[in-house]
Structure 1
Amino acid sequence: MWLNNILETIGNTPLIKLNKLTQDVPGTILAKVDYFNPGNSIKDRMALKMLEVAEQEGKIKPGGTIIECTSGNTGMGLALAAVVKGYKCIFTTTDKQSKEKFDILKAVGAEVIVCPTNVEPDDPQSYYSVARRLAREIPNSYHFNQYDNLANRLAHYETTGPEIWEQTEGKVTHVVCTAGTGGTVTGIAQFLKEKNPHIQIWAVDVYGSLLTKYFRTGEIDMKEVHPYISEGFGEDFVPLNYDMSVIDHFEQVTDKDGAVMARRIAKEEGLFCGYSAGSCLQGLMQLKHKLKKDDVVVCIFHDHGSRYVAKIYNDQWMMERGFLDVKSFKDIVNARQSKRLVTVAPENTVLEAVELMKRYDIEHIPVVKDGALLGAISEGGLFQKLFSNPEIKQAQVQAVMEAAFPVVAFDTPVERLSHLIHKENGAVLAKDEKGDYHIVTKYDVIQSLAK
């Protein structure tokens, strides 16, 4: 049986058990993987619900314009609904969001206005203020305001919460969810607390957001607010969607820990998720001491990793922010312990060089005289020469040597070494603190990256 349109695929996303990352975590840890929604995020649920409620209440008419401030995912859900239902879309967003999010929104016909991140919510340049202004100026338009629109949390009360209850057969004991607009965590909590008031709801926040302190003290402290890199959660105000009475705990995670954990989820669980999923699981890891072996924990994995390819899944981006513990030439040398550098002199014969390769099980040898690097020989290069002229084995190395291997700093990152090692050049050299040369080959690099 077919579906009538793409909106009918929203919801009923899978609950998937985590295995490797949570081996030492008590209980059963499950991920509610909402990137299976058509817009690749959990926000499809509330976007459709907000539009349906707005239509029912007459707040938007056919052919009207949807206006929303979004980090990207809510916009995608609204854009899909707009395509099916025949609306225009204008979205405001912040300049800290990934370019992929902007491009995806444009691909489905939306207009995107990028606003500065580091301004107060009431600043005329903020993406909140720009959205409100556009709604006033454009006829037959409606600003959905996901932060204060209670249809947001209603969507999760009606769909996400019931799905979790049914998929766990009512055995769920904890839900862990990043907290942004408050709609997801509050809607799920309201439904599940009605089913079982003992279910624990843990909200995950980011340092730089004021939500955690507000939860603990009831105080809106702007001193808590400072720029952060994490996307899709954390706030510098308290949206109306929150009902803090149904949330049991707030846990803050760092930008780095959330990003690193997202990459681990992809590599170790095969789930290519976004920033908030990494932060969600990191929050759980920080609280695992509170769990028991019979607990059933559901972590909300909001969106897909394709939104973050140029950010958390980009090694250079991660290194620039100090988020990767970068391995270096020195680390490779230290890991293989004491292995002296094997060299040949230019007047040695090719046969002597081949015998050294066999004895030490190596493929690359620098050609050195009086401490100077004159060239290099490699197993691959010698094979071609010996195959075409077997007599060359009696020739001197200097007659067949290749260009000398590049020399780099001893602390050069492994990622940079990979650009220097290729088909024509199989190794790089570096001097240690004592002035002794060491060699790293492509196999050394591969082994270091695989660890």
Structure 2
Amino acid sequence: MPGAVHESVLDAIGATPLIRLRRLTEGLAPRIYLKAEWQNAGGSVKDRAALAMIRAAEASGDLRPGGVVVEGTSGNTGIGLALVGGFLGYRTVIVVPDTTAAEKIAALRAYGAEVVPTPGGLTREDPRHVNNLAARLAAETPGGWLADQYGNPANPQAHRDTTAPEIWEQTGGRVTCLVAGIGTGGTLSGTGAALKELGPVRVVGVDPETSAYGGGDGSPYYVEAIGHYRHPDTVDDPWPANWDRAVADEVVRVDDRTTMLTARHLAREEGLLLGGSSATAVAGALRVARDLGPDDVVVVIAPDSGRAYLSKYFDDGWLRRLGFLTEADGQGPLVGELPLLEVPVVRASWTVGRARAALGELPGPAPVARDREGPAAPSEILGAVTAGALEGVADDDPVRDHATAQPPSVGAGEGIETARERLGDAGAAWVVRDGRVAGLVTRAALGLPESLAPAD
């Protein structure tokens, strides 16, 4: 059967196919299909919302000829807005956090968008926060219009109007479970609500392990375009208006390592090169499917392709540096196989006295990190401190005033030779496992002579 004929690129948004998973579902009773949203014209599910938001703004008069589309995004919504906006004659300004994959930034520029980077991991009140900066630019730009994917009702409405009816028709009304990641909330809320109106469909949201949506502490995670990060110093942290929590029957949490490995299995076993949010959703669906029967039909929203993340989730070096890949690679013993010293996390609000007690006789630096429980993510580490550097310092001094530069770090999955090279003259290095500081490796453990560098 020949493919569809479109009169413009806008007609190539929507009507994406369902693709059944075959190998990863062995031993599971239900049929599991992916809604292949990477086949939209701009490469992601966000094309649907972008088109709907721009059309609604035109209809309301908020976006006029010669206007400027502005948005804060981790990439995909910006790409959709740049594609649609460019075709319709609008200039596009996209604010992105500096953690956004390089491939997405390159795509935004290829579509003609003006890209404005801003630091990631800021408090919600910081004027440089991606959403705040985008709102300010929209207000200051003549003809500027803020798309506001988190609060714009046209976002979930796009999925009510298109995604849900497509799934219902494609499955012949037999879909019993919808699984989708939670980002802005628009895809899950709109699609899930509409499907529930059509039949008894169970809706499952999938969230990164530490994301606040699913009950995590809001600390950093490594999957883009999904979840909710909460800076520990944020005062008011409202969730998106487009995330209707009543639609989801449950929220399943998936850790970063499972996401990374699932993405690789999908590519190598199913022939599906998918992004991290897609892999997270698939991992959640596989977990939910264990309790379902042969009459169940599960549809998983797969937002985008893995082509936008080749430098991350599919790059062995990136995965090993962060300790997500820890199996032997044929190049000798790995750092994670060495005896590591337990390293406490010194919190930024602590006094020197409290830090000194926690450090004990640790022969190396400990991370000084933002105030959270658990291991420290590199993006939340503010510096390092050693027991020696605190000698003679008053107990009630703020410890963060005595933090110094961070030492080298090495992934638990990297080789010992790599660790030796990275260490240089430093006395020790932090070892990262699953994206968190997991221990300290000394020069002696790496078989190196004592450092010539100062101890502190």
Tell me the TM-score normalized by structure 2: 0.69
Aligned-pair CA distance for 1:413: 5.4
Amino acid at match of 1:199: V
Q: Which residue of 1 aligns with 2:241?
A: 240
How far apart, CA to CA, are the structure 1 residues paired with 2:36 and 2:417? 31
Q: Which residue of 1 aligns with 2:222?
A: 229
The Cα of 1:325 is off from its aligned counterpart by 3.1
Mapping for residues 428-443 of structure 1, pairs under 5 Å: none
Residues 86, 92 of structure 2: 8 Å contact kept: no
In the alignment, is the contact (CA less than 8 A) between 1:319 and 1:326 conserved in 2? no
CA contact (8 A) 1:210 1:235 kept: yes
Post-superposition Cα deviations, 1:236-260, rounded to whole Å, max 9, x if no partner, equal 4410012222210001111111111
Counterpart-to-counterpart distance in 2, 1:120 and 1:53: 31
- Quick check: 283-292 or 78-87, which moved more? 283-292
Q: Which amino acid aligns with 2:284?
A: G
**Whole-angstrom distance in 2 between the partners of 1:412 and 1:318:** 9
- How big is the shift at 1:207? 2.3
Q: For 1:412 and 1:310, how far apart are their aligned partners in 2? A: 17
Residue 57, structure 1, aligned to residue 35, structure 2: no
Look up the match of 1:211. 213
Radius of gyration: which is bigger? 1
Counterparts of 2:54 and 2:263, CA distance in 1: 31
1:201 matched to 2:203? The reply is yes
- The alpha carbon displacement at 1:280 in A equals 0.6
Which of these residues, 111, 130, 135, is aligned with residue 132 of structure 1? 135
How many matched pairs?
328
Aligned residues of 1:328 and 1:414 also touching (Cα < 8 A): no
AA aligned opposite 1:266: A
Q: Distance in 2 between matches of 1:38 and 1:67?
A: 20
Q: What is the deviation of 1:261?
A: 0.5
One-letter amino acid of the counterpart of residue 277, structure 1: S
Structure 1 residues 138 and 191: alpha-carbon distance in aligned structure 2, compared to 1, 3 A threshold: same
Structure 1 stretches of 4+ moved >2 Å: 1-4, 285-290, 328-332, 411-416
C-alpha separation between the residues in 1 aligned to 2:38 and 2:316? 23
Percent pairwise identity? 39
For residues 99-149 of structure 1, what are the alpha-carbon distances to aligned partners after superposition, in whole Å with 9 as ceiling and x for unaligned? 110010001100111111111122111101100110111111101110011
1:41-73 Cα offsets, whole Å, 9 max, x none, are 010001000000000000011111000011111
Q: Is the 8 A contact 2:266 2:274 kept in 1?
A: yes
**CA deviations over 1:258-281 (Å, ceiling 9, x no partner):** 111111111111111111111011
Other-structure match for 2:282: 281
- Distance change >3 Å, CA 16–CA 138, structure 1 → 2: same
**Deviation for aligned residue 1:415:** 13
Instruction: Give the secondary structure class of the aligned counterpart of 2:214.
Output: helix
**Partner-residue secondary structure (3-state), 2:28:** coil
Which residue pairs with 1:311 in the alignment? 312
**1:4 Cα shift?**
2.4
Deviation digits for residues 181-201 of structure 1, max 9, x if unmatched?
0000001111101101x2100
Matched residue, 1:29: 32
Cα distance in 2 for residues equivalent to 1:325 and 1:163 = 41
In the other structure, the counterpart of 2:401 is none
Distance between the aligned counterparts of 1:37 and 1:268, measured in 2?
Answer: 23
Query: Is contact 1:18–1:29 with CA below 8 Å preserved after alignment?
Result: yes
Instruction: Indicate conservation of the 8 Å contact 1:327/1:414, yes or no.
Output: no
Q: Counterparts of 2:323 and 2:332 in 1: how far apart (Å)?
A: 17
Note the C-alpha offset of 1:326: 2.5
Give the match's secondary structure for 2:70. Answer: strand
Partner of 1:218: none
Distance 1:415 1:13, change over 3 A: farther
* Alignment-derived partner of residue 7 in structure 2: 4
Q: So what's the TM-score if we normalise by structure 1?
A: 0.70
- Aligned 8 A contact 1:40 1:303 in 2: yes
Q: Which residue of 2 aligns with 1:444?
A: none
Q: Distance in 2 between matches of 1:211 and 1:311?
A: 24
Q: CA deviation at 1:314?
A: 0.6
Output the aligned Cα RMSD.
Answer: 2.0
Q: Residue 39 of structure 1 aligns to a residue in which SS? A: coil
- One of 84, 104, 107 as aligned partner of 1:104: 107
Equivalent residue for 2:71, pick from 58, 68, 71? 68
* 1:265/1:57 CA distance change after superposition, 3 Å: same
CA distance in 2, matches of 1:304, 1:330: 31
Task: Provide the rounded CA distance (Å) in 2 between the counterparts of 1:117 and 1:79.
Answer: 22
Tell me the CA shift for residue 302 of structure 1.
0.5
Shift of the alpha carbon at 1:329?
3.6
2:183 aligned with 1:177: no
Higher helix share: 1
